[in-house]
A and B are shown apart, each in its own frame.
Chain A
Amino acid sequence: MSVIVAENISKKYIIDHQRKNGSSGLRDIVSETVNKLFRKQEKNGFTEKEEFWALQDVNFSIDKGDRIGIVGHNGAGKSTLLKILSRITEPTTGQIKIDGRIASLLEVGTGFHPELTGRENIFLNGAILGMSKGEIRESFDAIVDFAGVEKFLDTPVKRYSSGMYVRLGFAIAAHLNPEILIVDEVLAVGDTEFQKKCLGKMRDVSESGRTLLFVSHNLTAIQALCNKSFYFEKGRLIDQGDTTHIVTNYLSKVSHKSLEKHWDNIESAPGNDQVRVKSFKLFPEYQDDLTHIDVRTPINFQFEFWNMVEGASLNLSMHLYTFTGECIFNVGTQAENFSKGLVSGTCEIPGNFLNDGSYVVSMMIVKDTSTVLYNMEEALVFDIEDYRENVTWYGKWPGYIRPQLNFSIRQTEHVVND
């Protein structure tokens, strides 16, 4: 039975492109109107209005008990959809029928007042989220227990640590008992311990037959929680179905960032009069039927360049950086003497070595092991996706690398009970 049926949902925003920054004040509007009055023929000079469709023709139906993951890039329309479903904003066209009590958690601790105590804020926030006073009183102890703030119940929340604040906020939301729960990226906040608690609570919600809509960039969490998924791109719902299928589809589209660069013409190729780059390519050795790189995938690099100096002693040096610019490693080849012509270098990063994340590779051609002839910075960019087995923890795996080492435990003594 469908609990949510959406038909032709579209949402249009009008964007003002202004010459000045900031929100348009009364003065701007007045001067604009005056301008218009006196110079009718002139084109609207002050603000250029542009239509922007945040959502276009979205149709779907969600059955009772479904756990829907929503994936897509920033700006794909995920948040707009949640806002429409939570009735914060209305769609421009179309309609959605919702059958059941709906609660949405777009932010942790919405409406918390810093001056009020934890106790007062539980009642305030609960009421804002749509709980009745009786319901709040019923689950009051459970909320306090879940958040772990017993000692600070009568302290104003402005004195709370950010962790306590978030825990209390989530605890209240977690004890809402809606038939349909909408959750936006709330896991981005809080420590790993807390994330674990949140995900556990959300699994309880879904296992008790209630309907869940979950937006997250944490694909592992989506795969763990959701049985179906929606894939949004540029305001359109471009694919929906089984989560594994959608996530694979999504990843195969986002992963190929710039896995290959090549130049056929030696004249226009990057470099100088001594060396010129022909190509730099990345070949993932996909496992199973994967079409994206995950932490298990070995990655091969192939780098080709034209050497234009007879007998040059050259070697290659490759840097791997995280997306935020920390260097993970630098490896170099042995130096060798080359004659004029094409030179090729290869490198392999084994599977089960790098952690999930985005990486940037740069390649250097070095002469006489000391002079950099050419440095190809940020030559390739690639993503490694998360993959785990037999793990019930879904927080971000810490560290730059995630090697599989010989690490084991065994029982070394048995205590025999009398």
Chain B
Amino acid sequence: MANQHSITIKAGGSEKDYWKDLWLHKQLLWILSKRDLSVRYKQTLLGVAWSVLRPVMTMTVMVFVYSYVAKLKADPGIPYPLMVLGGLTIWTFFANTFTQISNSILINHNLVSKVYFPRLLMPLSSVAVGFVDFLITFGIYIVVTIFFQTPISWQIVFLPCFILLTFITSMGFGLFFAALNVRFRDIGQLIPFMVQVGMYVCPVAYPSSLVKGTWYEKYYNLNPLVGIIDGFRWCLLGSKSYFNPQSLYSTVITSSIILVISLIYFRKKEKTFVDHI
């Protein structure tokens, strides 16, 4: 009797059906995402309001410090708060998903040691929370745009591409650290630090036109986040916002390479998660 549930277990045997298995477990992906979302603000007083408060407060502080105190300027014709909020929206999306992906295996350690499913589900489902936060922050951005009476550029049609690129980049970095985190808990210490430093390295509080023409520009553009953040702003604020297409090429290439390497590493380590967790 042929059975659709027939499987063969052997060393390295899970390779063949991995992607099929992942597809069969899509419902679990949805449920795990829903779980993460619904437990997010349990037993908090302000609840979902936190998702609004945090970006608003961060933006206010950054505008005050960088614009009024440090006298940083946005590209001509763009209000500084809009530039910061635009950069912050996409940067926070990256930082959150990257952090959550990196911790996803450890957080779900009780599942890892007791049930089988393709482990890739855990990093994938952990993106949901970051994405919902992103949508909220984006909503705030729209409100602020109306306040500054800045028209939204037609280039907004390219926005989904940049969101996808952010997702690919955070997966690329996150998967690698998620697998490494199982073996070395040092990663848990490293990640908040990386996110903090990353915010200065990336053009969040300043436009990358400041880097234009410097000797380190080409190294600067190697950072896949530069292309993403500049591109994201370009979509929203139009051509007035500085965007060097060269940084986009490097984003696509670097991110893809990192994702492939991380995926291979993750798949290789996945089988031994249970022995180290």
Interface residues of A (CB under 8 A from B): 1, 13, 23, 25-27, 29, 83-102, 104, 106-107, 110-111, 113, 115-116, 120, 123-124, 127-129, 132-133, 156, 179
Contact = CB atoms under 8 A, between A and B. Distances in A.
Contacts of A115: 39, 42-43
Given A88-B115, A90-B271, A115-B43, A96 B110 contact: no
B6 A99 contact: yes
Given A91-B11, A111-B111, A127-B27, A86 B185 contact: no
18 contacts: A25-B184, A29-B184, A87-B9, A88-B112, A88-B114, A93-B11, A94-B10, A95-B9, A95-B10, A99-B1, A99-B3, A99-B5, A100-B3, A102-B5, A106-B114, A113-B35, A128-B117, A132-B27
A92 B12 CA distance: 9
Interface in B11-38: 11-14, 27-28, 31-32, 35, 38
A91 B275 CA distance: 12
Contacts of A156: 42
Given A89-B271, A124-B31, A110 B114 contact: yes
A93 B3 CA distance: 25
A88 B113 contact: yes
B162 to A, nearest CB: 32
Contact of A124 (B5, B35, B42, B112): B35
B7 interface: yes
A129 B117 CA distance: 9
Contacts, number: 113
A125 B14 CA distance: 23
Nearest to B3: A99
B13 A90 contact: yes
B135 interface: no
A204 to B, nearest CB: 21
B15 to A, nearest CB: 10
Interface centre among A1, A89, A123, A179 (most CB of B within 10 A): A89
Contact of B6 (A13, A25, A98): A98
Contacts of A96: 8-10
Contacts of A116: 35, 38-39
Interface string B180-223: 00001110000000000000000000000000000000000000
Interface in B41-56: 42-43
B40 to A, nearest CB: 9
B18 to A, nearest CB: 12
Interface of B: 1, 3, 5-14, 27-28, 31-32, 35, 38-39, 42-43, 108, 110-117, 184-186, 271-272, 274-276
Given A97-B7, A111-B110, 12 more contacts: A13-B275, A29-B184, A90-B11, A98-B9, A102-B5, A102-B7, A104-B115, A110-B111, A113-B39, A124-B31, A124-B35, A128-B28
Top-7 shortest CB links A-B:
A95-B10, A87-B116, A26-B186, A101-B5, A96-B9, A115-B42, A127-B31
B182 to A, nearest CB: 10
A97 B5 contact: no
A7 B43 CA distance: 51
Contacts of A94: 10-11
Contact of B14 (A23, A87, A104): A87
Interface centre among B9, B108, B110, B186 (most CB of A within 10 A): B9
B5 A107 contact: no
B184 A26 contact: yes
Given A96-B10, A110-B110, A120 B38 contact: yes
A179 B5 contact: yes
A111 B27 CA distance: 15
A25 B108 CA distance: 20
A88 B274 contact: yes
A331 to B, nearest CB: 49
A83 B112 CA distance: 11
A91 B12 CA distance: 9
Given A113-B35, A123-B31, A85 B9 contact: yes
Contacts of A102: 5, 7
Nearest to B5: A101
Nearest to A104: B115
A182 to B, nearest CB: 11
Contacts of A113: 35, 39
A88 B12 CA distance: 13
A27 B186 CA distance: 9
B48 to A, nearest CB: 15
B30 to A, nearest CB: 8
Contacts of B114: 88, 106-107, 110-111
A156 B38 CA distance: 12
B167 to A, nearest CB: 23
A91 B272 CA distance: 11
Nearest to A117: B38
Contacts of B39: 113, 115-116
Contacts of B28: 127-128
Nearest to A126: B31
Contacts of A104: 115
Contacts of A179: 5
A14 to B, nearest CB: 9
Interface centre among B11, B27, B115 (most CB of A within 10 A): B115
A84 B42 CA distance: 36
Nearest to A132: B27
Given A107-B114, A113-B35, A127-B28, A90 B12 contact: yes
Nearest to A128: B115
Given A25-B185, A120-B38, A132-B27, A111 B115 contact: yes
Contacts of B276: 23
A101 B5 CA distance: 5
A95 B8 CA distance: 7
